Amino acid sequence: MTALTPAAIGLTTLLAHRQRPALGAFLPAGFPNWTAGIETLRSFVRHGADFLEVGVPHSMPTLDGPDITQAYAQALGQGARMAHVFSTIRLAASSTGAPVVAMTYWAPVLDYGVERFAQDLARSGAAGAMIPDLPVTEAGEWITAARAAGIHTPQFAPRSADSDQLDAIAKAASGWVYAPAAPAATGYQGELDLPALDAFTTRLRTTTSLPVVGGIGISTPRLAALVAPYVDAVVVGSPLIRPLLHETAAGALDGAMEQVRAFARALHRAGSSRALPA
């Protein structure tokens, strides 16, 4: 494997041996528009996000709920393309110093070219990319290209995965393993089955020493604090996007930043008496 890039090393360092879960903030590239999206990502970091996820807009986001689906559609309608993804990552990473990970479906990667995508991600300063709809059994080409480029390949671990599947996911993963807090589409706003999440993350930790990142269904700061004992990081998307979609222009950014601050405060409080596994 090629040596990790500085950005990938930065992500590894950020998630190692933390006393509280890191906060990741998700935003599609090109949303609300290209320039506003860059400033929004910068503001996420200023207001408490530890790392960023940049979504690759896609017309058929089958794992996403209405908020992210609408945000992707808005970005695509305004002309967002893969070049905007790399520019967004480059500007966000260089101006904030925070690790940036791409979140993408497999189809845009295939259309762009797998090796080219990995190399351009590395050149843009991305720490890696997660492709949640790519089964690990079919991910060989992507894993090879990403490792050659020196970037991480975080893996999505379905709650339904059996032991053999978790073993394969662990072998393919670098950077982190992603544990959905709810077996649902993004934007889920119901209560969480915390004993089930505890059992699942315990299974993951017996399979891999990589950090476990929680997302999907962590819809409020209260839920983030409840999930904190089980994960090394929490990624928030829909609660940040919702104000940008539905509030007036004057209040949209303020609303999103208040959400970031509230999630950051919740994780700080939850981590005050918390010791994560080494």
Contact 159, 184 (CB under 8 A): no
64 is catalytic: yes
Contact 10, 150 (CB under 8 A): no
Work out whether the CA dihedral 4, 229, 18, 7 comes out positive or negative: positive
Single out the catalytic residue among 50, 53, 67, 120: 53
Strands (E), 154-262: 155-156, 177-180, 212-215, 233-236
Count CB-CB contacts under 10 A for residue 137.
10
Dist. CA 153–CA 205, nearest whole Å = 18
Single out the catalytic residue among 39, 50, 64, 115: 64
DSSP-derived pairing of the beta strands 233-236 and 51-55? unpaired
How many Cα atoms sit within 13 Å of 49 on the Cβ side?
30
| 191 CB-near residues (< 8 Å, 6+ apart) | none
φ and ψ of 178, to 5 deg: -100, 125
The residues annotated with a catalytic role in the active site are: 53, 64
